[in-house]
Amino acid sequence: MAQTQQFALPDVGEGLTEAEVVRWLVQVGDAVEVNAPVVEVETAKSVVELPSPWAGVVQELLVSEGRTVDVGTPLIAVSVPEEGDLPTTDEAAAAQAQAAPSAEPAEVAPSAQAGLEASPEQAEGARSSVLVGYGPRTGGPLRRRRGAAAAAAAARQAAAPPPAAPAPAGAPASASAPAPEPAAAAPSPAPSPGSSPAPEAPESAPPQATGVAAGISRVLAKPPVRALARTLGVDLGSVRGTGTGGTVTREDLLEHAPDAQTVREGRETRVPVRGVRKATAQQMVASAFTAPQATAFVTVDVTRTMKLLDRLREDREFAGVHLSPLLVLARAICLAVGRNPGINASWDEDAQEIVLKHYVNLGIAVATRRGLLVPNVKDAGDLALLDLATALTQLVRTARDGRSTPADLTGGTISITNIGVFGVDTGTPILNPGEAAIVCVGAVRQRPWVHKGRVRPRWVAELSVSFDHRLVDGDLGSRFLADVAAVLERPDRALLWA
């Protein structure tokens, strides 16, 4: 006897209490396997796919796409059969072949074709992340879902009454193979009780109709993106796609939507606050009104750092590695933390204790399409310069690709924000909650500078550090910043302090 199980939004840890349902990867009637991804959700930390803990048939999708729900909210109902009740993929194919002996068995049921078309990313297997603790995928998403759809189609085929006669000449052909030619004098059969007659197929209809409106059928986009476009009233043809092959992604659509709303609503635009933006707002408010923050500034001659980077670019060991002043700054921060350990700490309000961290998980603020993320390099203080450069490059690339995991985005002890990439000289950053300091670096520019008693053009940058004044006083914050500046001014000091 089959039982209906409800899969609730799990507690993904790290203080996350809610998530937004981005898109469903299955539909009602689809068969699913254990650990097969069924839904994509977006938390304040990242986008993850949640796998099914059961094998069975989807009975109901309990939460609509775009809705934000709390941890513990049921997401999907799955009918879990007794062992042997669910047909295998081979059995499903055999059932389809028996139902249509004159045609090749379809790999995907036509009724589910529109919802199961694979995007270029899926076809290449680009998205392979699963929620930590649920186990890895056992195969590509397209292959599994085709097999699941075939099993569900076979179950529906077995339950349906057999046709009384061949389909009429005007009936639409199968999505995967042409129907056999009926006899010229064969009468049209009467429809079965409770069924509806098949509509006439227009002569101009394409051979593989997907059910998408004609106005956006030429635009590459996944079905959930098309549905969201209809909800927002956005013409997909006006959206620039940045996905593989020009595919319009959900992020492309949401970025375009405010512009579309401006045109439609006049002089105001309302943008829902959710996902990363919502989490950032909550954290910054909590940080600003919890920790008394102070900021110190210093201007430093980084000419020797720029020359060091030029030499490293010619070194074979650093071939192909992205090198920038941020790398030397990261190393300088790790060294300065070793000389000023009180800066690498957190405040425990409940215990009224200062917690000193004996490791450096160095956060890097990254501007992404989802908003500002701060992934961190674990144990950055233990890495050699080449390993640190590789880790920083990978960390930033992963964040910009939207593939940062909750582990990447949590556990940081001290952070860097690089506003110099925008041509800005300096700023007063707000602390990440749970951290005692954040270093800000501005643009590196050539300026007139007094060097060895003469005014010369030198590479100069401005640094600032914001710190929690509950556990870092002005003396500690200033000494830490001075040490960071000293390494940038004379990188050879790293040999003395390492």
The Cα 21–Cα 38 span in angstroms is: 11
Number of domains in the chain: 3
Q: Is 358 a catalytic residue?
A: no
% of the chain at pLDDT higher than 90: 42
Helix (H, G, I), strand (E, B) or coil at 33: coil
Residue 418 has pLDDT above 90, yes or no: yes
The Cα 165–Cα 185 span in angstroms is: 12
- pLDDT, one tens digit per residue, over 444-498 is 999 999 999 999 999 999 999 999 999 999 999 999 999 999 999 999 999 888 7
Residue in the structure block whose two tokens are 């689809």: 30
Indicate whether 54 and 78 sit together in one domain: yes
The Cα 215–Cα 229 span in angstroms is: 12
Angle at 57 between CA 56 and CA 60, to 5 degrees: 130
Indicate whether 149 and 223 sit together in one domain: no
CB atoms within 10 A of CB 59: 17
Indicate whether 294 and 253 sit together in one domain: no
Q: Output the CA torsion 443→444→450→455 (10° steps).
A: -100
Indicate the angle between helix axes 325-339 and 385-400, nearest 10 degrees. Answer: 120
Indicate whether 244 and 301 sit together in one domain: no
Burial of 336 per CB tally in 10 Å (0-12, 13-18, 19+) = buried
> Range with the lowest mean pLDDT among 54-58, 325-329, 441-445?
54-58
Indicate whether 224 and 291 sit together in one domain: no
Tokens of 149: 């759809």
pTM > 0.75: yes or no:
no
Domain containing 153 equals 3-159
Mean pLDDT to the nearest integer, 169-197: 43
Residue 337 has pLDDT above 80, yes or no: yes
Mean pLDDT to the nearest integer, 110-133: 37
Predicted confidence at residue 217, as pLDDT, reads 43
Indicate the angle between helix axes 474-489 and 325-339, nearest 10 degrees. Answer: 140
- pLDDT, one tens digit per residue, over 206-255 is 433 333 333 334 678 887 788 777 766 677 888 888 888 788 887 787 77
Helix (H, G, I), strand (E, B) or coil at 185: coil
The Cα 155–Cα 92 span in angstroms is: 8
Indicate whether 221 and 343 sit together in one domain: no
Which has more confidence, 449 or 167? 449
**Is 121 part of a structural domain of the chain?**
yes
Contact 120, 247 (CB under 8 A): yes
Indicate whether 364 and 313 sit together in one domain: yes
**Is 176 part of a structural domain of the chain?**
no
* CA atoms 395, 401, 405, 411: torsion sign: positive
Residue 113 has pLDDT above 50, yes or no: no
The Cα 418–Cα 71 span in angstroms is: 34
Indicate whether 453 and 329 sit together in one domain: yes
The Cα 32–Cα 152 span in angstroms is: 9
Tokens of 97: 């072949």
Indicate whether 228 and 300 sit together in one domain: no
362-364 and 414-418 beta bridge pairing: parallel
Which has more confidence, 87 or 441? 441
**Is 200 part of a structural domain of the chain?**
no
Contact 444, 459 (CB under 8 A): yes
Q: Which of 256, 322, 358, 469 is catalytic?
A: 469
Contact 396, 408 (CB under 8 A): no
What pLDDT band is residue 404 in, cutting at 50, 70 and 90? confident
CATH number of 242's domain? 4.10.320.10
Contact 150, 92 (CB under 8 A): yes
Contact 354, 471 (CB under 8 A): yes
Burial of 26 per CB tally in 10 Å (0-12, 13-18, 19+) = buried
The Cα 58–Cα 37 span in angstroms is: 12
**Is 141 part of a structural domain of the chain?**
yes
